[in-house]
Amino acid sequence: MSADACWRCEQCEACLAGEYNRCAQSGSIGLASDGAFAPLVRFPAYCVVPLAEEVSDRAGALLEPLAVGLHALDRVHARAGETVVVLGFGPIGACTAEVASAMGLDVLVSEPGPERRARAEELGYAVHVPEGEKRDGHALGARANWRRRPDRVWTRAACPPRSRPRPT
């Protein structure tokens, strides 16, 4: 099995609507409580996600970041055959690219870091080197010789490792 890292109140309007990520009392295991880098971790029963035998433990360990990517793609109504640009190929960006690719989207990755960019290339993604914060899609598309501009853009902004604010 795997586990959903979000605990919530299960009583508010958002929770009852199945949108518990918007619960005002929500928090993440590892951020708002002790994390899962311990040998054992305790979490609410509603967090349990049963896994089929076809899902390896390795893949199961990636369910959470992959779900973040899937949710972001849902938020932009991404559909197979469309083009999506992922800005940033960190862990979440990489998982989003993987989900998008599995969904049949044409994925382009823009990543300033050479190591992460190399990883994206290794995985077969078309990559782009951003030259500055002010560059826009016109120059981006022309420089990369992309045939068409993206339908969807998903961006993972840099965030500090600590002091991440709790959702309100």
What residues line the site for another protein (CB under 8 A)? Answer: 2, 4, 6, 18-22, 28, 49, 51-52, 54-56, 59-60, 62-68, 70-77, 85, 88, 91-92, 94-99, 102, 123, 136-137, 140, 148-160, 164-165, 167
Q: Which is nearer to another protein, 60 or 112 (CB)?
A: 60
Neighbours of 144 (CB within 10 A): 15
Nearest to 127 by CA among 69, 161, 86: 86
Phi and psi dihedrals of 38, rounded to 5? -90, 160
Task: Pick between residue 41 and residue 67 the one whose CB is nearest to another protein.
Answer: 67
Q: Which of 42, 133 has the CB closer to another protein?
A: 133
Q: Which is nearer to another protein, 18 or 39 (CB)?
A: 18
* Pairing, β 6-7 against β 27-28: antiparallel
The C-alpha atoms of residue 140 and residue 57 are separated, in whole angstroms, by 39
Minimum gap (Å) between residue 44 Cβ and another protein: 14
Taking the complex as a whole, the smallest distance from the CB of residue 40 to another protein amounts, in Å, to: 20
Assess contact for 97 and 88: CB atoms under 8 A: no
CB of residue 22 vs another protein: minimum separation in angstroms? 7
SS3 call for 135: coil
Alpha helices by DSSP H, the chain: 13-16, 57-61, 63-75, 91-102, 114-122, 137-144
**Least distance (Å) from another protein to the CB of residue 126?**
16
Minimum separation from the CB atom of position 67 to another protein (A): 4
Residue whose CB is less far from another protein, 34 or 59? 59
**Residue 13 DSSP code:** H
